[in-house]
């Protein structure tokens, strides 16, 4: 099973042989691929076992429950998607003169144009678990908070008078664009960027 780094599906390229070999790595890679594409509720443990492939006992040796596996997937998604792709690509584009608070939408635009665009796993997982006390719901929200924190830093760098509030507003635009792109509006990142530009230009 492959793993991914930035710049292909959802912002990353599949690469075999990450330094996480063995059964646990195969399980997590299989879960990552399936959960990213189909959601955490639609994919059962048996399908992950078949894709890994490992015995069921092996899966439960490494992950006490499906809930634990979903949480591990979300952690890996933060590293691969949030840090190694979204943040890295945004900061790369910002080096050519674009504010990071706006460059993030340029990165999203490229993502939305991919034929295998699958949406944000954190948003998808949050919507699949309506109970706010559910562990998985809380974990998805926590990972979205990490993205909000990144946007807050970008807002501060852009000179926003209230970076925390502006970061929240940028995330509202970002999440709206991601969901709109899922329904086929691949121009949504550009539209959100135009609003973000007004927001940043007004001083936040």
Could you read off the pLDDT of 51-100 as tens digits, one per residue? 999 999 999 999 999 999 999 999 999 999 999 999 999 999 887 667 99
Calculate the alpha carbon distances from 26 to 8, 35, 43 in Å. 20, 14, 16
The pTM for the full model equals 0.86
Spell out the domains of the chain, with CATH numbers in brackets: 3-201 (1.10.357.10)
Could you read off the pLDDT of 9-47 as tens digits, one per residue? 444 433 333 435 689 999 999 999 999 999 999 999 999
């Amino acid at each position: 099973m492959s793993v991914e780094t930035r710049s292909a599906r959802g912002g990353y390229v599949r690469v075999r042989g990450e330094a996480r070999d063995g059964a646990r790595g195969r399980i997590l890679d299989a879960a990552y691929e399936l959960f990213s594409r189909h959601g955490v509720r639609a994919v059962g443990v048996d399908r992950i076992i078949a894709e890994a492939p490992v015995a069921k006992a092996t899966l439960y040796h490494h992950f006490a429950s499906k809930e634990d596996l979903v949480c591990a997937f979300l952690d890996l998604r933060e590293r691969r998607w949030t840090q190694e792709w979204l943040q890295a690509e945004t900061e790369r584009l910002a080096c050519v003169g674009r504010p990071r608070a706006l460059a993030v939408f340029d990165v999203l635009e490229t993502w939305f144009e991919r034929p295998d665009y699958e949406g944000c796993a954190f948003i998808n997982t949050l919507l699949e678990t309506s109970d706010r006390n559910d562990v998985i719901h809380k974990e998805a929200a926590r990972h979205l908070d990490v993205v909000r924190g990144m946007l807050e830093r970008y807002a501060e760098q852009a000179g926003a008078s209230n970076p925390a509030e502006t970061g929240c507003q940028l995330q509202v635009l970002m999440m709206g664009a991601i969901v709109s792109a899922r329904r086929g509006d691949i121009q949504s990142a550009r539209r959100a960027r135009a609003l973000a530009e007004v927001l940043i230009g007004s001083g936040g």
